[in-house]
Chain A
Amino acid sequence: MRKPDFVYVIYIQTTPEKLWNALIDPEMTREYWWHHRNRSDWKPGSAWSHENYDDPTAVDIVGTVIESDPPRRLVLTWANPAKASDPSKVSRVTFDIQALPHEVRLTVTHDETYPEMLSAISAGWPAVLSNLKTMLETGRAMPMARDRRPVREAAATGEV
């Protein structure tokens, strides 16, 4: 197995159950994940998609649920809908949720990415994870996270 391309860690003052729910509940993802929902029944082998909260035809990411062990571990394949039939363009994301005495450690691992995907990912995850933390700890996400993501901002921060 190739080594992971990215590993992101964030500590959040919440419970594993609340964090798990925040990954899959559309009312939650709408708040912190650029007004999107993650649609699936979250059973291993099922399809999932990352789509606009108001417009289910605007699908940004598609994939399959590989592993689902609430509230500890969720493994998904992750692809651009236009390229999902090409196995070399299908990456994999793992969410590991670890309960600590006073907080929860969330580790997001992104594997098997390809070069064009790299800049989008490195701009995307740190923002989504900080927004998720803010939402879980304060009940409200940063105002910017509730809007649709500005395309220019994504391009501009792609290198950071």
Chain B
Amino acid sequence: MDKVFKALADTSRRALLDRLHARNGQTLNELCEGLSMSRQAVTKHLAVLEEANLIATLRHGREKLHYLNPVPIHQIGERWIKKFEQTRLAALSELKRKLESRDA
């Protein structure tokens, strides 16, 4: 679990996870597009994320694809959130999302 928190404690790495959340299964080239980070930096961040099992990679033809693996994040949630809190918390975060998107 330490590795997961360390991997998540970085804005650039969270941005990479956000990109995969928006579109899963991207190549390194696709992930680098439009980012101000160097290709080398992205490669390094991806290695940290993979080491923490937050991304999974697979070969598809000649390409290496990166996938967001939310399983460790789910395990963190499960550790501190009880069954009956889950629906209430989901309602709260839905409320936050609705209110904030309306203001935007």
Contact = CB atoms under 8 A, between A and B. Distances in A.
A144 B58 contact: no
Contact of A156 (B60, B71, B75, B87): B87
Given A3-B25, A3-B65, A157-B90, A126 B74 contact: yes
Interface string A1-13: 1011111111100
A68 interface: no
Interface in A117-160: 122, 125-127, 129-130, 133, 142-144, 147, 150, 152-153, 156-157, 160
Contacts of B83: 142-144, 147
Interface of A: 1, 3-11, 107, 109, 122, 125-127, 129-130, 133, 142-144, 147, 150, 152-153, 156-157, 160
Contacts of A107: 56
A156 B81 CA distance: 15
Contacts of B91: 156
B53 A11 contact: yes
Interface in B4-54: 24-25, 53
A143 B67 CA distance: 29
A6 B67 contact: yes
Contacts, number: 67
A130 B75 contact: yes
B71 A9 contact: yes
Contacts of A11: 53
B87 A150 contact: yes
Contacts of A125: 71
Interface string B75-101: 100100001001100110010000000
A7 B56 contact: yes
A83 B85 CA distance: 34
